[in-house]
Amino acid sequence: MTTKSVKEITYTKIRWDEKGLPHSTAFDDKYFCQDNGYDESQYIFCGGNQLKERFENLSAQDSNSFVIAETGFGTGLNFLCAWQLFEQCAPTAAKLHYISLDQFPLSADDLIKALNLWPQLQEYSTQLTVQYPNINIESQHIIFVGGRIKLTLIFDHVLSALAQMRQASYAVDAWFLDGFGPSKNPEMWSPEVFEQMAALSRAGTTVATFTVAGHVRRGLAQKGFSMTKTKGFGRKHQMLQGIYAAKKIADV
């Protein structure tokens, strides 16, 4: 693990419901759907960004990493689902760089308790939880599988975290927008966030999110993302998918 900051972080407080599922006390919201968070993550974020097909089509000779950026690390479920899919589908020489932003991360104990809900991810979650207790600063890299998988965690306000990403000259291939709902956590869904996302994207970068809030769809479109409502997961009838065209859309 390598570090870039010495600023200590404060872990968020979790309420565990009668089903043993975690809820944020700060935002009064759940971390994933009550029915099947694993399937939800696979459908909305991996499926919504067409990751299976894109991983399969990665060049075995290309040394560049496929870059996923996420707003809201939470329990780490999305990261582990993406890692699992990458291992299943990508050429053995391909690399994945997963960058996740979260101002209010879980403690190690709460993360372990949450990930115990998903035995199908144990091979990957064990590797994460072994290193996660050492995370007590705001920005760090964690390396897995001999460098094939790289996790960058930035525990800071979303705009500050995105600014760090721009300073590092990251170029994102797929966005997972998974902060708490726009009504619960509006700062995560602001025009300033969408502006930074556009600056970090290239033509063809995709985005997927569970919300279909009008200001989110319009805000992303105004920054150059072509957004579409598609079939949602479970009780949510719709979700948003998009692709960056590197050109602002004036009328939406």
For residue 198, CA distances in Å to 54, 156, 233 come to 20, 20, 26
Whether 217 has a pLDDT exceeding 50, the answer reads yes
Whether 252 is covered by a domain: the verdict is no
Whether 180 is covered by a domain: the verdict is yes
The domain tally of the chain equals: 1
Indicate which CATH number applies to the domain containing 125: 3.40.50.150
Q: What's the pLDDT score for residue 79?
A: 98
Q: What's the pLDDT score for residue 240?
A: 98
Question: Average pLDDT for residues 131-140, to the nearest whole number?
Answer: 74
Residue 134 to residue 242: CA distance in whole angstroms: 36
- What is the signed CA dihedral for 200, 193, 45, 24, rounded to 10 degrees? 140
Whether 30 is covered by a domain: the verdict is yes
Whether 36 is covered by a domain: the verdict is yes
Q: What's the pLDDT score for residue 248?
A: 58
Question: Average pLDDT for residues 212-230, to the nearest whole number?
Answer: 97
Whether 250 is covered by a domain: the verdict is no
Rounded (5°) CA angle 114-116-117: 75
Whether 62 has a pLDDT exceeding 50, the answer reads yes
Whether 250 has a pLDDT exceeding 70, the answer reads no
Whether 145 has a pLDDT exceeding 90, the answer reads yes
Full residue range of the structural domain in which residue 125 is found:
2-244
**Stretch among 129-138, 164-173, 203-212 having the lowest mean pLDDT:** 129-138
**Tens of pLDDT, residues 172-183:** 999 999 987 898
Whether 37 is covered by a domain: the verdict is yes
- Dig out the tokens for 43 from the structure: 């459908």
Whether 249 is covered by a domain: the verdict is no
pTM: 0.92
Whether 251 is covered by a domain: the verdict is no
